[in-house]
């Protein structure tokens, strides 16, 4: 697409429809953090594609002034990865809830980590199913009473970051929608990371999950970015930190600058928008294919 004249990108460029989230919902903070990160990076909104899942969180793609795709419940990552392969010039960000990403869509997360396509994945984690009005999520603590677990949840919660680290993820971070400044810094780094990045964001649901609210998190989150003794290049240290804090950390927990991004592993893949290539085969390509088949009358 044509190069537009250099104009400073502002927050206004990133505003779209008015959010319909409950007042006080953590998702407002995630939206703001993401808008800020993109403005800080001075990326023009038309160069960004936000792919979102289904849930309160999934509505984010309608509220940010980029291109958007509000797809199926749990299926953000395939759409996002393919869009990035199809047009590597796009900044592609997938967003969704914890049910979306760690429940119904967890299989795709496992493989996205493995594949390491350059996509940033922001999970808006509220430990509950918001849009379907308050059922147990894969992150809901054991024993928590929800609408689908009136006698307390009997499923152990999943540790998304522990899982990602174990799977060999190349960028693992955690933010909090109550700390927008810090979140924007984390998201900036995630977007700049070349490869797949997972950013789990504590995004309180003020309607269905009061126990796990802003105060609770503010009092407990341990900031690793502020800890000069912490090295984000050490996967084992990251796992130890998760264990020590019960997962209540904030910041960039781990980054592996060495792990090769997927497109670099593809043989002869042209790293340019494939849109420009929607054309029949060139005559020499066609001939090569013909020759490889068993052909008579050559």
Partner 1 sequence: MKRRDLVWQVGGAQGEGIESAGALFLQIMHEQGYYVASHRHFMSLIKGGHTHYQVRVGSRPLLTPGDRVDILVAFDQLSIEHDADKLHEGSLVLANAAKKPHLPEGSPGRLLPVDFLALAKQAGGAIMANTVALGATGALLGWGEEALDEYFTSRFGRKGDEVVEQNRNAYRLGWEAVHKLGIPPLAMPEKPAPGRRVLLQGDEAMGWGSLEAGSRLFFAYPITPASEILQWLAKWLPKVGGAVVQAEDEIAAVNYAIGANLAGQRAWTATSGPGFSLMQEGIAIAAMTETPVVIVDAQRGGPATGLPTRPEQSDLNEILYGSHGDQPRIVISPATTADAFWAIQAAFNAAEKYQCPVIVAADLNLALDVRNVDLEELRRIPVERGQLDLEPGAFAPHTYPRFQLTDTGVSPRVLPGVPGKTTAAVGDEHTVEGHITEDAEPRVAQMTKRLKKMETAAADPELTREALWTSGPEDADLVLVGFAGTYGPIEEARQLLEAEGVPARHVHLRVLRPFPTRALAAELEGKKVLVVEQNATGQLAGELRRQLGSDGFHSCLKFDGNPFTTAEVLASVREVLAR
Binding residues for ligand SF4, rule: CB under 6 A, are: 21-22, 25, 27, 56, 126, 130, 205-208
Rounded to a whole number of angstroms, the minimum distance from the CB of residue 52 to ligand SF4 is 14
What does the block give as tokens for 62? 């309608």
Sign of CA dihedral 57, 218, 14, 274: negative
Cβ neighbour number for residue 186 with a 10 Å cutoff: 27
Whichever of 132 and 149 has its CB closer to ligand TPP, that residue is 132
End-to-end CA distance of the chain: 42
**Does 108 help bind ligand TPP (rule: CB under 6 A)?**
no
**Does 214 help bind partner 1 (rule: CB under 8 A)?**
no
**Does 32 help bind partner 1 (rule: CB under 8 A)?**
no
Whichever of 29 and 88 has its CB closer to ligand TPP, that residue is 29
Three-state secondary structure call for residue 119: coil
Whichever of 100 and 255 has its CB closer to ligand TPP, that residue is 100
Binding mask 243-272 for partner 1 (x = CB under 8 A): -----------------------xxxxx--
Over the range 84-111, which residues count as b (16 or more CB within 10 Å of their CB) and which as e? bbebbebbbbbbbbbbbbbbbbbebbee
Stretch of residues binding ligand TPP (CB under 6 A), selected from 127-135, 149-157, 158-166, 187-195: 127-135
- Rounded CA Rg of the chain: 21
Give CA–CA dist 173/252, Å, rounded: 4
Q: Which does 23 bind (CB under 5 to 8 A by kind): ligand TPP, partner 1, ligand SF4, none?
A: none
Give CA–CA dist 100/137, Å, rounded: 9
Rounded to a whole number of angstroms, the minimum distance from the CB of residue 56 to ligand TPP is 4
**Does 22 help bind partner 1 (rule: CB under 8 A)?**
no
- Sort strands 222-223 and 249-255 into parallel, antiparallel or unpaired: parallel
Q: Which of residues 12-71 bind ligand TPP (CB under 6 A)?
A: 54-57
Q: Judge contact between 122 and 133, C-beta under 8 A.
A: no
- Please tell me what DSSP assigns to residue 47: G
- Please tell me what DSSP assigns to residue 291: H
Q: Which does 129 bind (CB under 5 to 8 A by kind): ligand TPP, ligand SF4, partner 1, none?
A: ligand TPP
Residues near ligand TPP (CB under 6 A): 54-57, 73, 96-100, 124, 126, 128-132, 137
């Amino acid at each position: 697409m044509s190069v537009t004249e250099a104009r400073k990108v502002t927050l206004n460029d990133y505003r779209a429809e008015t959010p319909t989230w409950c007042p006080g919902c953590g998702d407002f903070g995630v939206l703001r953090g993401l808008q800020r990160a993109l403005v800080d990076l001075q990326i023009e909104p038309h160069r960004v594609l936000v792919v979102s899942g289904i849930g309160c969180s999934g509505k984010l793609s309608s509220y940010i002034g980029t291109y958007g795709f509000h797809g199926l419940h749990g299926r953000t990552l395939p759409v996002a990865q393919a869009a990035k392969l199809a047009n590597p010039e796009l900044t592609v960000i997938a967003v969704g809830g914890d049910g979306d990403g760690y429940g119904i869509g967890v299989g795709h997360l496992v493989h996205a980590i493995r594949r390491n396509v350059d996509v940033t994945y922001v999970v808006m984690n509220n430990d509950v199913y918001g849009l379907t009005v308050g059922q147990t999520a894969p992150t809901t603590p054991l024993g928590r009473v929800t609408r689908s677990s009136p006698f307390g949840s009997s499923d152990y919660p999943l540790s998304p970051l522990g899982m990602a680290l174990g799977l060999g993820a190349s960028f693992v971070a955690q933010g909090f929608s109550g700390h927008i400044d810090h979140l924007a810094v984390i998201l900036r780094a995630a977007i700049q990371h070349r490869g797949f990045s997972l950013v789990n964001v504590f995004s309180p649901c003020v309607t269905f999950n009061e126990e796990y609210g802003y105060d609770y998190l503010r009092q407990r989150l341990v900031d690793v970015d502020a800890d000069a003794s912490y090295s984000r290049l050490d996967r084992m240290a990251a796992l130890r930190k998760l264990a020590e804090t019960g997962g209540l950390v904030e910041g960039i927990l781990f980054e592996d600058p060495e792990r090769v991004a997927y497109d670099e592993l593809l043989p002869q893949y042209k790293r340019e928008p494939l849109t420009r290539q929607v054309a029949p085969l060139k005559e020499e390509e066609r001939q090569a294919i013909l020759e490889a088949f068993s052909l008579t009358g050559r």
